[in-house]
């Protein structure tokens, strides 16, 4: 550039580059592109596990599920996307690492039991958003504070009706279920749009002044349970063995009964056959002959098993003879 030439700016360059185009053509093209871009801003995507809430001039007109959708661009329609599939956690009497509200730190919750004992409870609440519209527009309160208040009210009501031993041992599981149900009822009354999916009592801690006594009671209770379990184990090992022996004795007795009955039936049948033969012989021979024959058959069976002494007239010769009916030892 010489000294007589004037400096050029960017606008001059633009006019030189597009000077051959007519301004009447450029303006409609630019406006059309802006309109296209404006309407393209109405496209939005709802990911899996999310729901979109479409508002038209601030009024909710639809709840949209996952997928690609279109709305009238701003300022007519606006979309708020809420993750309804995520399970969140809140705490009672403790602070979790993912605590989202530093200004609201959960305090230790002290409860009075039905038998007038004071306990501190630490618990974790699992919840999710079941109704995004109610969650966003029905309550003007943080979700964690609302859950804390609902669970706290349910705990005060339920624990005040239970003994400390019950809440520490046998009734702990059922108490968790009842507290979850009561808290959900309160949240539904508030139309919070929240759903409590689980409530777990992490620890039941007595006050520091009586902590040692509570630990002793807990230890004694554990020892009792251990002893009961050992006794049940011993019973489970002894009772089946005793039942087996009993079944064996019953089986042996039934076998002996069957044997005796069969032997008796055999003897009866034998007697009946002998009687029939005796009655048959009476018709063929005289009664004395039949009886004498039976007598001889009986003696044949008996005499071989006993000692016999035969005495004649000359055996004693006037002396006494010891027949040894009694064995003297």
How far lies 323's CA from each of 223, 295, 309, in Å? 79, 24, 7
pLDDT digits (tens, 9 = 90+) for 25-49: 667 777 788 878 878 887 888 888 8
Please give the Cα distance from 310 to 89 (Å, whole number).
Answer: 113
**Domain shared by 103 and 136, yes or no:** yes
Report if residue 303 sits inside a domain. no
Residue the block writes with tokens 């041992």: 169
Please give the Cα distance from 298 to 278 (Å, whole number).
Answer: 14
Report if residue 310 sits inside a domain. no
Report if residue 282 sits inside a domain. yes
**Domain shared by 120 and 193, yes or no:** yes
Domain that holds residue 29: 16-83
Domain edge (last residue) among 35, 56, 83: 83
Domain edge (last residue) among 83, 104, 122: 83
Cα-only R_g, the chain: 53
pLDDT score for 68: 85
pLDDT score for 104: 62
- 157 pLDDT band, cuts 50/70/90, is confident
**Domain shared by 74 and 147, yes or no:** no
Q: What are phi and psi of 21, to 5 degrees?
A: -90, 150
**Domain shared by 44 and 146, yes or no:** no
Domain count of the fold of the chain: 3
- 250 pLDDT band, cuts 50/70/90, is very high
Above pLDDT 90, what percent of the chain?
A: 6
Largest pairwise CA distance in the chain:
195
Which residue, 37, 33, 41, is CA-closest to 72? 41
């Amino acid at each position: 550039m010489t000294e007589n030439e004037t400096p050029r700016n960017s606008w001059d360059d633009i006019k030189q580059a597009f000077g051959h185009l007519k301004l009447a053509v450029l303006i409609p093209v630019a406006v059309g592109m802006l309109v296209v871009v404006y309407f393209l801003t109405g496209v939005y995507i709802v990911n899996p596990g999310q729901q979109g809430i479409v508002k038209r001039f601030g009024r909710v007109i639809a709840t949209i599920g996952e997928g690609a959708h279109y709305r009238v661009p701003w300022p007519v329609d606006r979309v708020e996307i809420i993750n309804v599939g995520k399970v969140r956690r809140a705490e009672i009497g403790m602070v979790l690492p993912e605590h989202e509200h530093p200004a609201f730190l959960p305090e230790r919750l002290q409860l009075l039991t039905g038998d007038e004992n004071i306990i501190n409870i630490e618990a974790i609440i699992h919840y999710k958003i079941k109704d995004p519209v109610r969650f966003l527009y029905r309550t003007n309160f943080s979700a964690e504070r609302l859950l804390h208040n609902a669970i706290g009210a349910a705990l005060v009501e339920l624990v005040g009706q239970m003994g400390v031993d019950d809440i520490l041992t046998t009734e702990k599981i059922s108490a968790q279920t009842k507290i979850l149900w009561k808290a959900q009822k309160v949240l539904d009354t508030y139309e919070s749009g929240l759903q409590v999916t689980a409530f777990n009592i992490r620890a039941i801690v007595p006050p520091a002044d009586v902590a040692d006594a509570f630990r002793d009671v807990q230890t004694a209770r554990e020892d009792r349970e251990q002893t009961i379990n050992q006794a049940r184990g011993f019973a489970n090992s002894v009772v089946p063995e005793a039942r087996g022996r009993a079944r064996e004795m019953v089986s042996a007795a039934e076998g002996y009964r069957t044997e005796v009955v069969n032997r008796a039936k055999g003897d009866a049948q034998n007697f009946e056959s002998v009687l029939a033969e005796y009655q048959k012989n009476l018709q063929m021979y005289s009664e004395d002959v039949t009886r004498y024959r039976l007598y001889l058959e009986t003696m044949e069976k008996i005499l071989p098993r006993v000692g016999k002494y035969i005495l004649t007239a000359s055996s004693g010769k006037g002396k006494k003879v010891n027949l040894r009916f009694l064995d003297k030892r």
